[in-house]
Amino acid sequence: MNALEIENISKRFGDFYAVKNLSFKILKGSIYGLLGPNGAGKTTTIRMVMNIIIPDEGAIKILDGKMDEGMKQRVGYLPEDRGFYPKMKVGEILLFLADLKGLKRQEARKRIDFWLERFDLADWKQKKVEELSRGMQQKLQFIATVIHQPEIIILDEPFGGLDPINTKLLKDIMLEMRGKGGTIIFSTHRMEQIEMICDNICLINKAESVLEGNLNQIKKQYGKNTVVLDYEGDAGFIKNFPETDKIDDYGKFMEIKIKEQTDPQDLLNKLVGRIKINKFEVREPSLNAIFIDIVGEKNAQDTVSH
Amino acid sequence: MHKILSVIKREYIQIVRTKGFIIGTILGPVVMAAFIVVPVAIQFISVDQQERIGVIDETREVFMELDNKLDQKLKDGTRRYLLEEFKPSANIEELLQELNKKVLNKELSAYIFIPKDISEGGEAEYVSEHVSDFDKRGNINQALSSIIIGERLRGEGLDPQKIGEYMRPVKLTTKKVTKRGVERDTGGTFIISYLLVLILYMTLIFYGQIILRGVIEEKSSRVVEIVLSSLRPFQLMAGKIVGIAAVGFTQYAIWALFGLAVSQYSKGLMLRFFPAAAAFEMPTIPSYIFIYFVIFFILGYFLYATLYAAIGSMVNSEKEAQSLVMPVTMFLIVPILLMLFVMKSPNSSFSVVLSMIPFFAPILMLLRICVLLPPFTQIAGSIVLLIMTTLLMIWLTAKIYRVGILMYGKRPNFREIVKWMKYG
State the CATH number of the domain containing residue A96. 3.40.50.300
If asked whether residues A170 and A274 sit together in one domain, one would say no
If asked whether residues A178 and A229 sit together in one domain, one would say no
Q: pLDDT class for A226, splitting at 50, 70, 90?
A: confident
3-state secondary structure of A53: coil
Asked whether residue B272 carries a pLDDT value surpassing 80, the answer given is no
CB B249 within 8 A of CB B243: no
Cβ separation A97–B408 shorter than 8 A: no
**Range from A125-129, A272-276, B22-26 that averages highest in pLDDT:** A125-129
- Give CA angle at B11 (B5, B16), nearest 5°: 125
Cβ separation A79–B218 shorter than 8 A: no
Asked whether residue B367 carries a pLDDT value surpassing 80, the answer given is yes
Query: What counts of helices (H) and strands (E) characterise chain A?
Result: 10, 13
If asked whether residues A208 and A272 sit together in one domain, one would say no
Kindly state whether A100 is in contact with chain B, defined as any CB-CB distance less than 8 angstroms. yes
Does B174 reside within a domain? no
Kindly state whether A79 is in contact with chain B, defined as any CB-CB distance less than 8 angstroms. yes
Asked whether residue A124 carries a pLDDT value surpassing 90, the answer given is yes
Give me the residue from B3, B10, B223 closest to A83, CB to CB. Answer: B223
Give me the residue from B3, B217, B408 closest to A100, CB to CB. Answer: B3
Distance from CA of B311 to the nearest CA of A (A): 19
* A221-253 residues labelled b (16+ CB within 10 A) or e (exposed): ebeebbbbbebeeebeebeebebbebbbeeeee
Within 202-241 of B, beta carbons closer than 8 Å to A belong to 217-218, 221-223, 225-232
Cα–Cα distance measured from residue B183 to residue A164, given in angstroms and rounded to the nearest whole number: 81
Cα–Cα distance measured from residue B168 to residue A95, given in angstroms and rounded to the nearest whole number: 75
Question: Three-state SS across chain B?
Answer: CHHHHHHHHHHHHHHHCCHHHHHHHHHHHHHHHHHHHHHHHHHHCCCCCCEEEEEEECCCCHHHHHHHHCCCECCCCCECEEEEEECCCCCHHHHHHHHHHHHHCCCCCEEEEECHHHHHCCCCEEEECCCCCHHHHHHHHHHHHHHHHHHHHHHCCCCHHHHHHHCCCCCCCCEEEECCEEEECCCHHHHHHHHHHHHHHHHHHHHHHHHHHHHHHHHHCCCHHHHHCCCCHHHHHHHHHHHHHHHHHHHHHHHHHHHHHHHHHHHHHHHHHCHHHHHCCCCCCCHHHHHHHHHHHHHHHHHHHHHHHHHHHHCCCHHHHHHHHHHHHHHHHHHHHHHHHHHHCCCCHHHHHHHHCCCCHHHHHHHHHHHCCCCHHHHHHHHHHHHHHHHHHHHHHHHHHHHHCCCCCCCCCHHHHHHHHHHC
DSSP assignment letter at A286 = P
Residue of B nearest to A88 (CA): B14
Q: Taking residues A136-150, what's their average pLDDT?
A: 93
What are the φ/ψ torsions at residue A201 (nearest 5 degrees)?
A: -140, 160
Cβ separation A76–B231 shorter than 8 A: no
Give me the residue from B217, B226, B232 closest to A82, CB to CB. Answer: B226
Kindly state whether B2 is in contact with chain A, defined as any CB-CB distance less than 8 angstroms. yes
Which domain does B214 fall in, by range? 2-38+187-423
Cα–Cα distance measured from residue A209 to residue A192, given in angstroms and rounded to the nearest whole number: 19
Domain boundary residue, one of B132, B166, B200: B166
CA atoms within 13 A on the CB side of B181: 2
Total domains in chain B come to 2
Q: What is the ipTM of this complex?
A: 0.82
Residue of B nearest to A74 (CA): B230
Asked whether residue A304 carries a pLDDT value surpassing 50, the answer given is no
Per-residue CA distances from A21 to A18, A45, B98 (Å): 10, 11, 103
Asked whether residue B275 carries a pLDDT value surpassing 80, the answer given is no
pLDDT tens digits, residue range A151-208? 999 999 998 878 889 899 999 999 999 999 999 999 988 777 777 789 999 999 888 9
What mean pLDDT is reported for chain A?
87
Q: pLDDT class for A300, splitting at 50, 70, 90?
A: very low
Total domains in chain A come to 2
Q: pLDDT class for B44, splitting at 50, 70, 90?
A: low
If asked whether residues B397 and B266 sit together in one domain, one would say yes
Q: Taking residues B90-104, what's their average pLDDT?
A: 85
Per-residue CA distances from A17 to A8, B142, B301 (Å): 13, 87, 42
Q: pLDDT class for B358, splitting at 50, 70, 90?
A: very high
If asked whether residues B30 and B65 sit together in one domain, one would say no
If asked whether residues A150 and A293 sit together in one domain, one would say no
Cα–Cα distance measured from residue A235 to residue A249, given in angstroms and rounded to the nearest whole number: 9
| More confident position, B62 or B280 | B62
Cβ separation B229–A83 shorter than 8 A: no
In terms of Cβ atoms closer than 10 Å to its own Cβ (0-12, 13-18, 19+), residue A180 is exposed
If asked whether residues A129 and A26 sit together in one domain, one would say yes
Q: Taking residues A66-72, what's their average pLDDT?
A: 87
What are the φ/ψ torsions at residue A73 (nearest 5 degrees)?
A: -70, -25
Residue of A nearest to B408 (CA): A81
Give me the residue from A52, A78, A102 closest to B406, CB to CB. Answer: A52
Asked whether residue B103 carries a pLDDT value surpassing 60, the answer given is yes
Give me the residue from A85, A87, A100 closest to B231, CB to CB. Answer: A100
Which domain does A205 fall in, by range? 2-213
- Residue B176 is predicted with a pLDDT of 67
Q: Kind and range of the H or E element at A2? A: strand A2-13
What mean pLDDT is reported for chain B?
83
Mutation test of the interface with chain B: which of A84, A85, A146, A156, choosing the one with the most B Cβ atoms within 10 A?
Answer: A85
Residue-by-residue DSSP string for A10-41: EEEETTEEEEEEEEEEEETT-EEEEE--TTSS
Cα–Cα distance measured from residue A183 to residue A177, given in angstroms and rounded to the nearest whole number: 8
pLDDT tens digits, residue range A236-288? 888 888 888 888 888 888 888 888 778 888 888 888 888 888 998 888 888 87
Q: Taking residues A227-239, what's their average pLDDT?
A: 85
Asked whether residue A121 carries a pLDDT value surpassing 90, the answer given is yes
Cβ separation B226–A88 shorter than 8 A: no
Domain boundary residue, one of A191, A213, A235: A213
Does B179 reside within a domain? no
CB B418 within 8 A of CB B321: no
Hey, what amino acid is at A94? Answer: L
If asked whether residues A133 and A198 sit together in one domain, one would say yes
Task: Measure the N-to-C terminal CA separation of chain A; round to a whole number of Å.
Answer: 43
pLDDT tens digits, residue range B342-353? 888 888 899 999
The candidate with the shortest Cα–Cα distance to A81, out of A156, A159, A189, is A156
**Range from B87-101, B166-180, B186-200, B377-391 that averages highest in pLDDT:** B377-391
What are the φ/ψ torsions at residue A20 (nearest 5 degrees)?
A: -135, 120
For CA atoms B175, B177, B183, B188, give the dihedral sign.
negative
If asked whether residues A60 and A121 sit together in one domain, one would say yes
**A contacts of B14 (beta carbons < 8 Å):** 85, 87-88
Distance from CA of B417 to the nearest CA of A (A): 15
pTM of the model: 0.75
Hey, what amino acid is at A168? Answer: K
Mutation test of the interface with chain B: which of A100, A138, A155, choosing the one with the most B Cβ atoms within 10 A?
Answer: A100
Q: pLDDT class for B393, splitting at 50, 70, 90?
A: very high
Domain boundary residue, one of A159, A184, A213: A213
If asked whether residues B73 and B210 sit together in one domain, one would say no
If asked whether residues A124 and A158 sit together in one domain, one would say yes
